[in-house]
Every structure is written in structure tokens, then in C-alpha cells.
Amino acid sequence: MDVLEYRKATRQKSLVGTRLTMTLRRFIFWLHLSVGLTVGFVVAFVAITGSIMAFQSQITAWAERSARVAVPAPVNTCISPATLLVRAMADQHLPPTSLTLFVDPHRPTEVVFGRDTLLVNPCSGNIIRRDAGRLRTFFSDVRDLHRWVAWGGVRHENLRAIKDAANLCFFFLLLSGLYLWFPRKVSWQHFKPAMLFRPNLKGRARDWNLHNIFGFWMALPLLCMVLTGTIMAYPWATALLYRAAGSPPPPVKPEAEPKQKKTLSPDEYSLLDPAILRAMAQDPHWNSLLMRMPAEKDTAVAFTVDEGEGGIPQQRSQLSIARKDARVIRWEPFSANPRGRQWRIDARFLHTGEIFGPIGQLIALLAALSLLLLVWTGFSLAIRRWLAWKTLRMSCAKQAPQPQETYS
């Protein structure tokens, strides 16, 4: 009798544990569904803007392929960068904000005037294209929307807070989705339907299959994009990254409105030539050299020296040179940064996949498109579930016995 009671108690404990597990899974499912419906449209907005920017540099280079200098002139006949800046300013009637030079003589020099870009012959100073800023401005607007929810230079902080919060919610959706994706029985028979595409399915089964396979195969890239996006959005996430790297967190500086500084006079542009030549000599392997135009009271000229095409942070260095005597004030290659700063820079290029070159950009694009598919199939499954519930409720109402009327 004692043995029978023991077996009965053991069976009851097993049943209670099974019901508890099912209840937890059901609770996570409904939480996953509710959060997904709440932030779905915001996540789709981020996915659309992110996918547009996936191959920004390649699309810009292809659109401007006709602006390449066919036959570069001898170097000893070229004008100085200062003279080039003066000619570009005379064409736009505005002070330039930056100048980008390339070691490739076939690539035109880029002179930026706020949101507009001039492509200039690096040797003669002739204007090659004045409409180069249109495509670049489009990508700049998309980037502002993606990062700041800004349009026309106006940031909407409340919308930005909603976008950043939706990014955190999507982190929960990824983790809860992986939990719900994992089959109850560990066997290939149960894993196969959730991992492989089944082309013969229709309706709800098709949406469920697509939601599962894209959520599984793109989980790692999406997780990287979500975590790096959180690091770039929140100072506390950046502080956690610095602490994980063993570096003290950077001080949090309040965002202030940019102050209008008096621009450098064109008569003083000639003083920039020695600084530009010194920057070229600092790194013999440079591929591009970006100079931010100094203000009138600035004593130094800031450069970004890149040995690659701009997507690999290890190939970029920061350089500061004195305007007066072209003396190097600060030379900061990537390896000179603290480990926390290195990880923070890596997070920026990991977010777009550029750190791995075109292959990484392709994976980032596929992840963004998969995110759109997850949103679409998620809403589709929710609508199908609601319609099925509504149909079942109406069917039950029709089958229920109607109360008979009594007549007195």
C-alpha cells in the first residue's frame, strides 16, 4: 500500500510540473505576441531605413562613376588644395565644411558645403559634378531618420525615445522567440520543421514556417544589430561595454546645440597647405584624407586618415596638426585607443556589417529584410489567430440552445 501511494504521489508531481511548464510557455507566448504587436511598426521602420543604407558607399560610388578623372595630369602641374578650396567656395558662395582627398588620382576630390557636395578635379580644380549631394543628402536623411528620427535637421526626441525603447523590446522578442522556437522534444524530427523551408505550405502553416526559419537563421545577426544599436542609443549601455572591456566609462556629456563659429577667411586657406602635406606624410599608406575645416579661432586642424575604404575602424586614425607651424599635436591610430573605446568604435561598424566588408554588409541587409518578414508574418499570424477565435466564438453561439419563449 505504501508503494502504491508513493507511485501515485510521484505521478501527481510529474503532472503538476508539466502543467507548470505549459503555463510558463503559454505566458511567454502571449507576452511575445503582445510586445510584437505593440512595437511591430516601429521595428519595421528601423528595418526599412537600415536596409536602405546597407550598401550606401557602393551605391554612391556606382552613381558617381562618370565623375572619375579619365587622364590625371602630372602632379607637378596640379594646383594646391587651398586654391582648390577657393575655387569651390567661389562656385557655391558658401564656406566649405570639409575636404576629402584621395591617393587615387582618378578619384575626384570631395568638397562638402553642409548638406551639398561638390566633386572637383583634384589637379585642375574644375568642378566635375554639382549634383553629387542629391544622393548623399538622401542617404543622410535616411540615416537621420534611422538614428535620431530627425527630418530636415529637426530631431524629435520623444519619437527617438520610442524607437530606442522598441529596440530594447525587440531584444526581448529575440530571446523569447528562441525559447518558443525550441521544440519540446530534442530530435531531428522536431527540429526539421522549424529550421528548413517547406514550399508546399499555405496560409497559417506557411507564415509559421517562415517566422520560425528566419527567426532562427538570422537570430545571431539580429542579436548583434540590437545590442550594438542599444550601445549607440543609451549611455548606460556604453558604460557597461567600457566596464566589460576593463576601461573607465566615458563621462556623459549633455547634448548641446552647436555653436556658430566664425569661419576661416579664404585669404587664410593657404595656411592649410602645410598642414595637409604634413598629414599626407604622417601615414604613407593613406588612401583617403578628410580635413574638417577649422574655424577662425581654432589653432589646430583635425584630420581623419583612412588606409581603406572607410568601413574598417582598424584602418582609420585621427590626426590633429597645428595651423601655425604644421606640428603634429595628436596622432591617434586605432590601436592607441583604450580597449573600451576600441570596442565602442567596433560596435558602430558591427551594427552595419561594414567591419566584415561587403559580406558583412550583405548579411546586415539580409537581417534587415528578415526583420521585415518577421514583422509581416507575426502580424499575419496574430490576425489569423484572431479571425479563427472570432469564427469559433460565432460558431459556438449558433450551436448554443436558444431560450424558449413562454406565453402566459
Instruction: Give tens-digit pLDDT for 10-27.
Output: 555 444 444 445 588 899
Residue 83 lies in a domain: yes
How is residue 174 written as a grid cell? 529575440
289 is a domain residue: yes
Given a contact cutoff of 8 angstroms between Cβ atoms, the answer to whether 92 and 113 are in contact is yes
Q: What is the pLDDT of residue 5?
A: 53
pLDDT tens-place values along the chain, 408 residues long: 444 454 445 555 444 444 445 588 899 999 999 999 999 999 999 999 999 999 999 999 999 988 888 877 676 778 999 999 999 999 998 999 999 999 998 999 999 998 889 999 999 899 998 877 789 989 999 999 999 999 877 888 999 999 999 999 999 999 999 999 998 888 888 888 889 998 899 999 999 999 999 999 999 999 999 999 999 999 999 999 999 999 999 887 766 555 678 889 899 999 999 999 999 999 999 999 999 999 999 999 999 999 998 889 999 999 999 999 999 999 999 999 999 999 999 999 999 999 999 999 999 999 999 999 999 999 999 999 999 888 888 888 777 666 655 554
Query: Distance between CA 384 and CA 367 in Å, rounded?
Result: 25
249 lies in some domain: no
Asked whether residue 262 is domain-assigned, the answer is no
Name the residue range of residue 307's domain.
75-139+274-357
User: Does residue 348 fall inside a structural domain?
Assistant: yes
| Tens-place pLDDT, residues 57-106 | 999 999 998 888 887 767 677 899 999 999 999 999 899 999 999 999 89
396 contacts: CB under 8 Å, gap ≥ 6: none
Closest CA to 170 of 353, 28, 44: 44
Check if the beta carbon of residue 349 is closer than 8 Å to that of residue 313.
yes
- Is the backbone of residue 3 left (phi > 0), alpha (psi -120 to 50) or beta? alpha
Kindly state whether residue 5 falls inside one of the protein's structural domains: no
Neighbours of 88 (CB within 10 A): 22
Determine, yes or no, domain membership for 351. yes
Does residue 133 fall inside a structural domain? yes
CA distance 290 to 123: 17
Question: How many structural domains does the chain have?
Answer: 1
Residue type for position 96? P
- The C-alpha atoms of residue 129 and residue 66 are separated, in whole angstroms, by 9
pLDDT tens digits, 352-368: 999 999 999 999 999 99
